[in-house]
Structure formats: structure tokens, C-alpha cells
């Protein structure tokens, strides 16, 4: 596999469920990101991991919990979500060095519907 992969591609879950989104990058990058894209809104940066450490949490509710076990894998654990959390969740990776930001490569996204 090449690039950035995400599973599942589609997910429907109830508000009381617990599920996880998975992202894997095959580019040798050292930074990974979670974004949320809602209809007619710009991409919202949720979390950033650089060298497996979380470096950014953009005031995301605690019902979203990220996990980065190594530089190639990123998870987003979901629990007790709300209908307004329905969106496209995109994972991205980049090669990050302090002082220089490199371009990001995105996975195909998980389209999440909360019922």
C-alpha cells in the first residue's frame, strides 16, 4: 500500500456507541493529523502528533480521543458522540521539522454519521 490509508471509509454509529477510526501512512513521515470537514465549512484541525507526541489539541471535546502508537499509525477513538459530529474525518501526514513545515498528504477520509 502507498500513501495514507484510512479505515473504515464509512461509519454509522449511535450516540451511545464506541468506535475507532484508523489511519496508516506509508510515506515515512513523522507527523500525523486529524481533521474534521463538515458540510460547507473549512477543514478544522483537531489533533497533531509529531514524533508520536501530541503537539496540538484544538479545543476538541473529550468524546474524541486520539492515539498515536508509532509514527505510522494514528487512531481516533469515539464515544458518546452527538449528531453534529457527523462529518468527514480526514487523516494527513507530513514531514515536520522545527522551523519548517512541509506539505501534507491526506487519506481518503472516514464519512461518519451519528444517529
Minimum CB separation of residue 85 from another protein in Å reads 18
Cα–Cα distance measured from residue 90 to residue 2, given in angstroms and rounded to the nearest whole number: 16
For another protein, which residue of 8, 56, 77, 115 counts as binding (CB under 8 A)?
A: 56
Told to check if 90 binds another protein by CB under 8 A, we report yes
Told to check if 108 binds another protein by CB under 8 A, we report yes
For another protein, which residue of 50, 68, 74, 114 counts as binding (CB under 8 A)?
A: 50
Minimum CB separation of residue 20 from another protein in Å reads 19
Per-residue exposure over 58-86, b if at least 16 CB sit within 10 Å of its own CB, e if not:
eebeeebebebeebbebbbebeebeeebb
How many alpha carbons fall within 13 Å on the CB side of residue 77? Answer: 7
Quick one: 92 exposed, middle or buried, by C-beta within 10 A (0-12, 13-18, 19+)? Answer: buried
Minimum CB separation of residue 31 from another protein in Å reads 5
Query: Given the rule CB under 8 A, which residues bind another protein?
Result: 31, 33, 40-43, 45, 48, 50, 55-56, 88, 90, 94, 96, 98-109
Amino acid at each position: 500500500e502507498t500513501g495514507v490509508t484510512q479505515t473504515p471509509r464509512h461509519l454509522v454509529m449511535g450516540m451511545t456507541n464506541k468506535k475507532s477510526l484508523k489511519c496508516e501512512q506509508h510515506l515515512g513521515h513523522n507527523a500525523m493529523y486529524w481533521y474534521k470537514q463538515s458540510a460547507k465549512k473549512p477543514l478544522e484541525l483537531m489533533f497533531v502528533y509529531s514524533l508520536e507526541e501530541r503537539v496540538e489539541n484544538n479545543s476538541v471535546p473529550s468524546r474524541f480521543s486520539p492515539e498515536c502508537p508509532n509514527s505510522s499509525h494514528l487512531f481516533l477513538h469515539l464515544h458518546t458522540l452527538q449528531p453534529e459530529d457527523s462529518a468527514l474525518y480526514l487523516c494527513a501526514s507530513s514531514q515536520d521539522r522545527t522551523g519548517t513545515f512541509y506539505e501534507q498528504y491526506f487519506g481518503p477520509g472516514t464519512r461518519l454519521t451519528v444517529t
